[in-house]
Each structure stands twice: as structure tokens, then as C-alpha cells.
């Protein structure tokens, strides 16, 4: 069965604009017919499974209207500024390698308060980096677990960490990373929701300039709140 762009986005329960961006980045198996894109259901189901995304054919989902409203309420509660405040902001994170930095960051995040939880998060972060660097360019990385961390008792959070010295993160533009946004969520849908908001902010040159100044937490949160008002939902 072939799916068009709109149907594909519906199957993954993500915005169509996100799908279009992934196509431009070459992240999705797609066949082009003129100006149209078609997706093979069998290939996409395997792709979604590999990337730990929920794939449900239109009309086959079991969510009720009420559960859909609950999801919207959950995402509204998890706005970007709230999630970043939960995670906190840290400075002078030490480490000479990606692994060193990730371990230092793991020891500062909330909710992972036992050696077992810290190790689980650290191993998941390393596994994700082994697949592909989360260094997105311009000195920024967005490390995140390979799969949602459903075992944590806490809510979603983003921990902001400014490094003491930039680290070679094998980023796409080869620039060393000086700031990390560690994103931890409890579902794939929420992860994509938060990642889209954070990515929007990171495309703003004024925001990038602010990051280079190692801003105080409240200054960072204020800028996030300002940019969040411009995000198209």
C-alpha cells in the first residue's frame, strides 16, 4: 500500500512539516513522483520500528477523542520553557571526549538519582551517539536516549549544559560543541514535540548569539518564552 505525505504524517502522529524536513534531510525512505512523495507501507513500518516511532494506519488507532485531548493537554503542560526549567542549567561541565561530557551531564540531571538509573541513561545516550552524532552544528548538540525513558518516575525535561571547553562531537559542520541540551521524554510523540520547539529556537540567530554568551538561567528562559510565542502549533 502506498501512502501520500499527509497520510504518512497521520500514521506517525507528527506534523507534516516535520515529515517534509526529514525528507529534505534524507532520513525517510520515499519515492518521488513529480512533485509528490509516496511511501511504501512495508518499508515505512520497518523504518518506524527501527527509529522507535509508533506507526498506526489511518482509522486503525484505538485512541478516543478524550485520549487525544489528554495528549494535547500533556503537550501544553510540557511547553519548552517548563521542560527546560525542570532540567536546569549547568556551567563549566568538564570532559575531553563525548563520553566524558555525557557522564558529567548524567550526574547533574534530575530524576535519575540512583547509580542504576544514571548508568541506564548514560548507556542509552552512548548508544544513540553510536548511531549518529547528535551534534547539530554551530557548537550545539541535543543528546537524547535511543528510546524514551519510560522507567523514570519524573516528567520530561531538558537539561542545558555549557561546557568548560568545547569538545569534538563529530558534528555535521565539524565545529566543536560548547553547549548541550539533554532531552529526556517518556514517549516518542512528546520527544518530537519538544525537539521541534527547541529546533525552532536554535534556528534563531539572536538565540545562538545569546548561547555564546553563556547566559544566566532566567535570561535563557526569558528568550525561550519569547521565541515560543512565535512557534506555529
Q: Are residues 40 and 89 in the same domain?
A: no
Q: Are residues 46 and 83 in the same domain?
A: no
3-state secondary structure of 3: strand
What digits encode the pLDDT tens for the residues 144-187?
Answer: 997 777 656 678 999 999 999 999 999 989 999 999 999 999 88
Considering the domain boundaries, does residue 62 fall inside one?
Answer: no
Radius of gyration of the chain (CA): 18
Considering the domain boundaries, does residue 123 fall inside one?
Answer: yes
H or E element at residue 227: helix 217-228
pLDDT at 204: 95
Q: Which of 171, 224, 220, 172 is nearest to 198 (CA)?
A: 224
Considering the domain boundaries, does residue 66 fall inside one?
Answer: no
3-state secondary structure of 14: coil
User: Is the pLDDT confidence value at 76 over 50?
Assistant: no
User: Is the pLDDT confidence value at 127 over 60?
Assistant: yes
How many domains does one find in the chain?
2
Question: Apex CA 232: angle with CA 75 and CA 160, to 5°?
Answer: 60
Catalytic residue list: 144
CB atoms within 10 A of CB 94: 11
Q: Are residues 86 and 153 in the same domain?
A: yes
- Greatest mean pLDDT among 17-26, 93-102, 186-195: 93-102
Considering the domain boundaries, does residue 233 fall inside one?
Answer: no
Q: Are residues 51 and 86 in the same domain?
A: no
Considering the domain boundaries, does residue 168 fall inside one?
Answer: yes
Q: Which residues contact residue 210 at a Cβ distance below 8 angstroms, ignoring those fewer than 6 apart?
A: 219, 220, 223
**Report field, pTM of the whole predicted structure over 0.75:** no
Distance of alpha carbon 38 from its chain centroid, rounded? 26
Residue 90 · residue 108 · CB < 8 Å: yes
- Residue 19 phi/psi, 5-degree rounding, is -60, -45
What digits encode the pLDDT tens for the residues 49-73?
Answer: 766 676 776 555 444 344 444 444 4
Q: Which domain holds residue 150?
A: 71-228
Q: Are residues 150 and 201 in the same domain?
A: yes
Q: Are residues 144 and 107 in the same domain?
A: yes
Considering the domain boundaries, does residue 19 fall inside one?
Answer: yes
Amino acid at each position: 500500500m502506498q501512502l501520500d505525505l499527509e497520510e504518512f504524517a497521520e500514521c506517525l502522529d507528527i506534523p507534516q512539516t516535520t515529515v517534509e524536513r526529514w525528507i529534505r534531510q534524507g532520513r525517510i525512505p520515499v519515492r518521488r513522483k513529480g512533485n509528490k512523495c509516496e511511501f511504501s507501507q512495508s518499508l515505512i513500518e520497518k523504518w518506524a520500528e527501527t527509529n522507535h516511532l509508533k506507526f498506526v494506519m489511518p482509522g486503525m488507532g484505538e485512541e478516543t477523542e478524550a485520549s487525544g485531548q489528554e495528549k494535547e493537554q500533556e503537550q501544553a503542560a510540557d511547553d519548552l520553557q517548563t521542560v527546560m526549567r525542570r532540567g536546569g542549567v549547568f556551567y563549566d561541565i568538564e570532559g575531553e571526549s563525548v563520553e566524558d561530557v555525557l557522564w558529567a551531564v548524567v550526574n547533574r540531571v534530575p530524576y535519575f538519582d540512583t547509580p542504576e538509573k544514571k548508568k541506564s541513561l548514560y548507556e542509552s545516550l552512548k548508544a544513540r551517539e553510536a548511531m549518529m552524532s547528535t551534534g547539530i552544528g554551530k557548537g550545539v548538540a541535543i543528546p537524547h536516549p535511543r528510546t524514551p525513558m519510560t522507567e523514570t518516575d519524573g516528567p520530561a525535561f531538558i537539561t542545558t549544559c555549557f561546557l568548560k571547553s568545547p569538545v569534538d562531537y563529530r558534528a555535521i559542520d565539524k565545529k566543536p560543541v560548547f553547549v548541550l541540551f539533554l532531552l529526556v521524554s517518556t514517549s516518542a510523540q512528546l520527544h518530537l514535540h519538544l525537539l521541534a520547539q527547541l529546533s525552532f529556537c536554535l534556528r534563531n540567530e539572536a538565540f545562538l548569539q545569546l548561547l555564546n554568551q553563556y547566559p544566566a538561567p532566567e535570561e535563557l528562559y526569558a528568550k525561550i518564552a519569547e521565541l515560543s510565542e512565535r512557534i506555529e502549533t
